[in-house]
Chains A and B, each alone.
Chain A
Amino acid sequence: MRAITSFYNKTRYFWRRLLIAFLTLVLVAVFGFLLIKLMPGNPVDTYAQTLMTERRIPFEEARALAKQMLNYDPDEKILVQLGKYIYGLLHGNLGISMRRPDITVNRLIAGFLPWTLFISSVSLFLSFIVGIFMGSHMAWKRKGVGEKAALSYIVVSGSIPDYLWGMILIFVFGVRFRIFPVQGNYDVMLEYEGWPWLLNVLYHAALPVLAYSIVQIGSWALSMRASSIGVLGDDYIYAARARGIPERIIVNRYLRRNAMLPLVTSLALSFAGLFGGSSLMESIFNYPGLGQQFSAFMGARDYFIIQGLILFMSFMIVLANLVVDSIYSLIDPRIRRST
């Protein structure tokens, strides 16, 4: 018994975070549900209208059938509907397409998330690494030519949204010079041939990754610079300098490593944010990701799918927050006490 209490006391912070995370998710689910409910025109009427024109039957009849087919009754009490929705969620059913019952949110995630994660995580890590080096260099060599150049780059790259970079890259490398493909994820002819296929996938990913990275590098570099400047003011850097340790070692071993820590948190959170994909980028490169699908289903007003996808994205964000907080609390005991 005492063991349990002491275990609880030690992990109390974690349990509280877990509870908050769970509450947030429930709120997100309810909020998403209500948002969809409030949307003008309900799914059944929309679907009934399609059925009516397709099958040439009177509207009322079509509506009854649509209700039956969609397993959804708009005349039901909202609370009952909400209950059913939550019940479905608890059984792992994130949502089924209204038009094609063989398409579920789970299937969409399985089919499209890998591609979204592929390009967005590659660019996230690429820009993180480049940004770390750039930022620490900027902090170390303040007021140098390098800093000015880097800062100009950051300003220019950051002032054009990533999807515009995408368009420009497509135009320059895809259409003018024809070095890179303008759309797609790989050439289907290569699907059975290991290496060439893998290379082809990378080849197709090059422009989207570049477009994402151009913008992201800047913001990582800025955060790193700020964090580094903070670290530079710490005593141990002065001490290291005083001891005559070579600058290179100071930068690599002391500065970069210490300044990076707070950024790792944002890296984890940014990673969680990737799960939704980017509708604009994926559309511009015609990349088969979750973001593009989201806007496609939005266009088809397939509400159940939309609801499910939003919940999934939120789930990833909440989960990442939980993990980051928990790890932090393990590393830094002060946090456990403060909240």
Chain B
Amino acid sequence: MKKSNRKRSAWRKALGAGLVLALLLGLCGCGAKQDQGDQSDSTFRIAKTWDKTGIRNHYHGGSAIGGLEWLAVEPLVQYVRSTDELFYLLAESIEHLEDGTSLIHIRENAKWQNGDDFLADDVMAYYHINFVSVTNYLAKPMEKIDDKTVKLTWKSWMEPNDNVKTLLLAEQKTGSVQYKEFQQFVDRCQEILLSQPDCEEGYLGSAPFGKLISPEAEEEFLANYNDFKAYNPDWFVATGPYKLEKETQNQMILTKNEDYYFADNVKFDKVICYNVADTNSIYNMLSNGEIYYQDGMAPEATLNAILDSNPNMAHLKMFDPGAIGLVFNLEKEIWTPGVRQAFQYIFNREEMRNAGNKYAITSQFPLIGMAPSEAQTWLAPEDFDGIPRYSQDLDKAAQLLEAEGWVKKDGRWTIDGSPVKLSLGYDGTHPGMCGVAEAVESAMNDFGIEVSLKRANDWGSWFDTARAADSVYDFVVNWTDLNMSFSYPTGSFQYVFNDINGPIMKLPKFTEEDYAAGRIEENQVGSLALEYQKRDGSGSFYVKDVLSNLYYYSDEELREVLADMIMGTANENLGVQFYQNVTGSFVDTSKIGGLPMEEYFTRERNVTYVPEAGTDEFFEVARTNLIYSQGISFSQGFYEPKN
């Protein structure tokens, strides 16, 4: 009796403690929930990351800035990625004149968020301190015509076509450097710049604003830029539709900027950003409606599961101007031309696509320098049809490998008697690439080549490893071709040859010896040494020359040069394209009004139709994607609260 009593009392205690705990937590829960319910309906919620250590109060402070990037810092004119649709923001218009000059007309009522007018000085401050790529095409420093007009003079020997001129200016988040706030740094910069000699007519090297910058001056610029970067104003310097109200490690509140020149368009009063990087957390937040919008894809089953658990969520799809596949590290001896070609035949690309992104479009090309959709836009139809296409043919692959001295023993491929073992690096945070990597591994093991997967934990460490000399990666899963900027071939070629894939592939570079042998100029040491044959057999050309001239070609010349470039790249077999990617956006249809494709998502919330290039929907869907349109949906009023 006594015993059982005691036992019961112990259990009772435990039960009691548990109940108290549950009650307490439940109370917290209710309290918090109520508060969430009180918030007005015109609040928008997104996930976007920034430095948890705290942001610096301006765009150039070296910190990631979360939602401010889309909603506070603006360019003169905004282009929408992939469609190149233009929206004039801080500039009312940009006029390109016959005499090789351009006039930027600043919007009359454009203001900084601290109430100051946005002026010609501010535009000039931005370009003069940042030396962005467009400044290299200018013949002299920018001139102020009046408070709201800036004049640009292009180098006559490097004058891009009008389309490119606008797009080059559109790339830049000009509304980020207020002259008044950063005067000391801008003036210092100007002073150094003006002390430099002018370049000669026809000089093709780097000469921002037509000035030849000496190494000493370069160092002074950098020192000045570092001071500029480290400077922390007491307000976040921006002009856009939303102001920074508050920022913590995990959340950021942006409130509507009532002085904004398009204030009438801006329908949401507040935007709350969550600092979430983990994709799983984002899926969870979409499932329970904590965020209303997220760009990108999720694996098919996950996407459907999210839509199943949140009846208000819809997913719209659109072309991604990039292709995913394999990129070879040419530093490794194994990648002889024959082996590279053999690899085109090993894979069932349909299956690779399914493993990566079910909604994407299978590609049969090798790495060609741009996504298939862009190649189709830029090439003449007969040239596009001429790009080599590959499909799975294991016999052909075996034949090519044997020609390279590979021998298959006991179902395993060997070179000089030792089995081939390759390591495949990929960025573990990209769900599509993870799927592709695993599919590649299993396909190759099946074919008799052992592959060890090197899953990097984040993009940075993946890229650091991939570009390092003597990298452990023999090849990688990556964007074979990707255009991050406006839809001009330069964007894609930069990605492939210079910025990302170039260092990964370890493409050949010109050396001091080439200079000594008189093959190149001194300043070209270190530039790309890739040489292609022209299609008509009339000789060869260097890729670097094409890259530096792309902006100046007429339409006719451009088509011709691009065809040579793409065929040349395809023949090198630098990589294997598996699919042209399709991306999209999750949108909460109960919170966001004004969405396109309504007749589609009311029928089926997982909209599988991918709008064809050039259709209205093509433009409309791209605008709703915040990465592609950089917040245009807010400043133009495409997004509105739904009641």
Within 8 A of B (CB), among A70-100: 99-100
Asked if B31 and A288 make an inter-chain contact with CB atoms under 8 angstroms apart, the answer reads: no
Q: Which residues of B contact A248 (CB under 8 A)?
A: 6
Q: Which residues of A contact B277 (CB under 8 A)?
A: 286
Q: Which residues of A contact B218 (CB under 8 A)?
A: 57, 61
* A133 and B18 alpha carbons, distance in the complex (Å): 14
Which among B206, B246, B460 is the interface contact of A191 at CB below 8 angstroms?
B246
Asked if A288 and B222 make an inter-chain contact with CB atoms under 8 angstroms apart, the answer reads: no
Say if the beta carbon of B418 comes within 8 Å of chain A: no
Which among A57, A61, A100, A200 is the interface contact of B62 at CB below 8 angstroms?
A100
* A179 and B26 alpha carbons, distance in the complex (Å): 8
Interface string of B268-293 (1 = CB under 8 A from A): 00001011111011001101101000
Query: Which residue of B has the minimal Cβ distance to A288?
Result: B249
Which interface residue of B218, B284, B309 has the most chain A CB atoms within 10 A? B284
Q: Which residues of A contact B222 (CB under 8 A)?
A: 55, 65
Within 8 A of A (CB), among B217-240: 218-219, 222, 225-226, 230, 232
Stretch at the interface among A231-239, A255-263, A296-304: A296-304
Say if the beta carbon of B615 comes within 8 Å of chain A: no
Asked if A183 and B54 make an inter-chain contact with CB atoms under 8 angstroms apart, the answer reads: no
Say if the beta carbon of B250 comes within 8 Å of chain A: yes
Asked if A206 and B230 make an inter-chain contact with CB atoms under 8 angstroms apart, the answer reads: no
Which interface residue of A56, A185, A202, A286 has the most chain B CB atoms within 10 A? A286
Q: Which residues of B contact A155 (CB under 8 A)?
A: none
Query: Which residue of A has the minimal Cβ distance to B25?
Result: A206
Stretch at the interface among B32-40, B120-128, B625-633: B32-40
* A14 and B246 alpha carbons, distance in the complex (Å): 49
Query: Which residue of A has the minimal Cβ distance to B38?
Result: A189
* A190 and B246 alpha carbons, distance in the complex (Å): 12
Given contacts A146-B7, A293-B53, contact A99 B31 (CB under 8 A): no
Say if the beta carbon of B457 comes within 8 Å of chain A: yes
Say if the beta carbon of A69 comes within 8 Å of chain B: yes
Asked if B250 and A185 make an inter-chain contact with CB atoms under 8 angstroms apart, the answer reads: yes
Say if the beta carbon of B150 comes within 8 Å of chain A: no
Asked if B287 and A175 make an inter-chain contact with CB atoms under 8 angstroms apart, the answer reads: yes
Q: Which residues of A contact B274 (CB under 8 A)?
A: 183-184
Asked if B31 and A200 make an inter-chain contact with CB atoms under 8 angstroms apart, the answer reads: yes
Asked if B281 and A183 make an inter-chain contact with CB atoms under 8 angstroms apart, the answer reads: yes
Given contacts A65-B219, A175-B309, A248-B6, contact A182 B284 (CB under 8 A): yes
Say if the beta carbon of B19 comes within 8 Å of chain A: no
Q: Which residues of A contact B232 (CB under 8 A)?
A: 102
Contact count A vs B, C-beta below 8 Å: 149
Say if the beta carbon of B461 comes within 8 Å of chain A: yes
Asked if B230 and A101 make an inter-chain contact with CB atoms under 8 angstroms apart, the answer reads: yes
* A298 and B584 alpha carbons, distance in the complex (Å): 31
CB distance from A47 to the nearest CB of B (A): 12
Asked if A69 and B226 make an inter-chain contact with CB atoms under 8 angstroms apart, the answer reads: yes
* A189 and B232 alpha carbons, distance in the complex (Å): 25
Which among B28, B61, B63 is the interface contact of A202 at CB below 8 angstroms?
B28
Q: Interface size (B, Cβ < 8 Å)?
A: 62
CB distance from A246 to the nearest CB of B (A): 9
Say if the beta carbon of A41 comes within 8 Å of chain B: yes
Asked if A286 and B458 make an inter-chain contact with CB atoms under 8 angstroms apart, the answer reads: no
Asked if A300 and B460 make an inter-chain contact with CB atoms under 8 angstroms apart, the answer reads: yes
* A203 and B287 alpha carbons, distance in the complex (Å): 20
* A115 and B53 alpha carbons, distance in the complex (Å): 13
Q: Which residues of A contact B56 (CB under 8 A)?
A: 100, 102
Which among B10, B215, B250 is the interface contact of A61 at CB below 8 angstroms?
B215
Within 8 A of A (CB), among B231-261: 232, 246, 248-253
CB distance from B492 to the nearest CB of A (A): 17
Within 8 A of B (CB), among A128-144: 133, 137, 141
Which among B31, B219, B252 is the interface contact of A199 at CB below 8 angstroms?
B31
Interface string of A173-189 (1 = CB under 8 A from B): 01100111111111111
CB distance from B281 to the nearest CB of A (A): 5
Interface string of B57-98 (1 = CB under 8 A from A): 000011100000000000000000000000000000000000
Say if the beta carbon of B468 comes within 8 Å of chain A: yes
CB distance from B414 to the nearest CB of A (A): 29
Query: Which residue of A has the minimal Cβ distance to B275?
Result: A286
Say if the beta carbon of B188 comes within 8 Å of chain A: no
Asked if B250 and A178 make an inter-chain contact with CB atoms under 8 angstroms apart, the answer reads: no
CB distance from A173 to the nearest CB of B (A): 10
Given contacts A53-B499, A103-B53, contact A203 B284 (CB under 8 A): no
Q: Which residues of A contact B14 (CB under 8 A)?
A: 133
Asked if A182 and B288 make an inter-chain contact with CB atoms under 8 angstroms apart, the answer reads: yes
Say if the beta carbon of B464 comes within 8 Å of chain A: yes
Q: Which residues of B contact A200 (CB under 8 A)?
A: 28, 31-32, 35
Say if the beta carbon of A196 comes within 8 Å of chain B: yes
Asked if B215 and A182 make an inter-chain contact with CB atoms under 8 angstroms apart, the answer reads: no
Within 8 A of B (CB), among A145-176: 146, 167, 170-171, 174-175
Q: Which residues of B contact A55 (CB under 8 A)?
A: 131, 222, 225
Which interface residue of A174, A202, A203 has the most chain B CB atoms within 10 A? A203
Asked if A286 and B29 make an inter-chain contact with CB atoms under 8 angstroms apart, the answer reads: no
Asked if B35 and A286 make an inter-chain contact with CB atoms under 8 angstroms apart, the answer reads: no
Say if the beta carbon of B526 comes within 8 Å of chain A: yes
Which interface residue of A100, A103, A247 has the most chain B CB atoms within 10 A? A100
Asked if B309 and A299 make an inter-chain contact with CB atoms under 8 angstroms apart, the answer reads: no
Given contacts A199-B32, A203-B29, contact A283 B278 (CB under 8 A): yes
Q: Which residues of B contact A299 (CB under 8 A)?
A: 457-458, 460-461
Within 8 A of B (CB), among A23-54: 40-41, 46, 53
CB distance from A102 to the nearest CB of B (A): 7
* A206 and B526 alpha carbons, distance in the complex (Å): 56
Given contacts A55-B222, A187-B32, contact A41 B464 (CB under 8 A): yes
Q: Which residues of A contact B290 (CB under 8 A)?
A: 181-182
Say if the beta carbon of B27 comes within 8 Å of chain A: yes
Say if the beta carbon of A16 comes within 8 Å of chain B: no
Query: Which residue of B has the minimal Cβ distance to A56?
Result: B206
Say if the beta carbon of A316 comes within 8 Å of chain B: no
Say if the beta carbon of A241 comes within 8 Å of chain B: no
Query: Which residue of A has the minimal Cβ distance to B249?
Result: A288
Which among A65, A185, A188, A298 is the interface contact of B253 at CB below 8 angstroms?
A188
Query: Which residue of A has the minimal Cβ distance to B53?
Result: A103
* A167 and B28 alpha carbons, distance in the complex (Å): 21
Say if the beta carbon of B52 comes within 8 Å of chain A: yes
Interface string of B457-492 (1 = CB under 8 A from A): 110110010001000000000000000000000000
Which among A146, A174, A202, A247 is the interface contact of B288 at CB below 8 angstroms?
A174
Asked if A196 and B35 make an inter-chain contact with CB atoms under 8 angstroms apart, the answer reads: yes
* A40 and B25 alpha carbons, distance in the complex (Å): 48
Say if the beta carbon of A58 comes within 8 Å of chain B: yes
CB distance from A42 to the nearest CB of B (A): 12
A sample of 18 more A-B contacts (CB under 8 A), given A102-B56, A178-B288, A182-B281, is A41-B464, A61-B219, A65-B219, A100-B51, A100-B56, A102-B230, A103-B53, A111-B53, A115-B249, A133-B10, A133-B13, A141-B7, A146-B7, A181-B32, A183-B274, A286-B278, A295-B457, A301-B461
6 contacts between A and B (CB under 8 A): A56-B206, A61-B218, A100-B53, A102-B56, A188-B251, A196-B32
Q: Which 9 A-B pairs have the closest CB atoms?
A: A203-B28, A288-B249, A188-B251, A299-B458, A199-B28, A182-B284, A184-B250, A183-B281, A199-B31
